[in-house]
């Protein structure tokens, strides 16, 4: 089991294999990530949440905000909220809908199932804790 650096993986295939998920880590295609990940058209990237940290006091947790680099080139954006505690700011849902993107917000375990069942034209943000 290897750990992936936070750099971009090359686009290799459209169907990723989710092998394990537990509090604090997720294993995709044999690589374990111990941080939140973004899936952009088959690539696994580290979620860059620094732009959203300014909202932490309001939510008690760093939310997903429109200030993050959200990968919008998709028809569906699946957001895994950990156990359900990750806040999603309203602007994110509104922006997705304005771009004709279906936002799907679920606890991460359910989000993984959604991604496994229907991967086509779907990007994701997966929170691995709380």
pLDDT beyond 60 at 11: no
Residues 50 and 56: beta-carbon distance below 8 Å? no
- Distance between CA atoms of residues 18 and 30, nearest Å: 8
Residue 85 and residue 125: Cα distance in Å, rounded?
Answer: 14
Sign for the pseudo-dihedral over CA of 30, 31, 35, 39: negative
The full set of domains in the chain, from first to last, is 16-127 (3.40.1230.10)
Split at pLDDT 50, 70, 90, the class of 14 is low
Query: Mind giving me the DSSP string for the chain?
Result: -EEPPSSPPP---S---EEEEETTEEEETTEEESS-EEEETTEEEE---GGGGGGHHHHTS--B-TTS-----SSEEEEEETTTT--B-HHHHHHHHHTT-EEEEE-HHHHHHHHHH--TTEEEEEE---
Task: Identify the band that residue 120 occupies on the pLDDT scale cut at 50, 70 and 90.
Answer: confident
Model-level pTM?
Answer: 0.89
Q: Convert the pLDDT of each residue in 64-116 to its tens digit.
A: 999 999 999 999 999 999 999 999 999 999 999 999 999 999 999 999 999 99
Q: Is the pLDDT of residue 125 over 80?
A: yes
Instruction: For residues 76 and 36, give the distance between their C-alpha atoms in angstroms, rounded to a whole number.
Output: 19
Q: What percent of the chain has pLDDT over 70?
A: 89
Confidence of residue 15 (pLDDT cuts 50, 70, 90): confident
């Amino acid at each position: 089991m290897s750990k992936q650096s936070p750099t971009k993986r090359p686009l290799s295939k459209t169907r990723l294999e989710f092998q394990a998920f537990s509090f604090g880590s997720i294993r995709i295609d044999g690589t374990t990530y111990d941080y939140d990940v973004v899936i952009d058209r088959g690539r696994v990237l580290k979620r860059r949440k620094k732009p959203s940290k300014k909202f932490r006091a309001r939510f008690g947790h760093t939310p997903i905000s429109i200030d993050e680099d959200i990968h919008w080139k998709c028809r569906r954006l699946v957001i895994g909220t950990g156990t359900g505690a990750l806040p999603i700011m309203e602007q994110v849902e509104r922006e997705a809908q304005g771009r004709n993107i279906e936002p799907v917000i679920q606890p991460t375990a359910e989000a993984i199932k959604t991604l496994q069942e229907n991967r086509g034209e779907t990007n994701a943000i997966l929170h691995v804790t709380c």
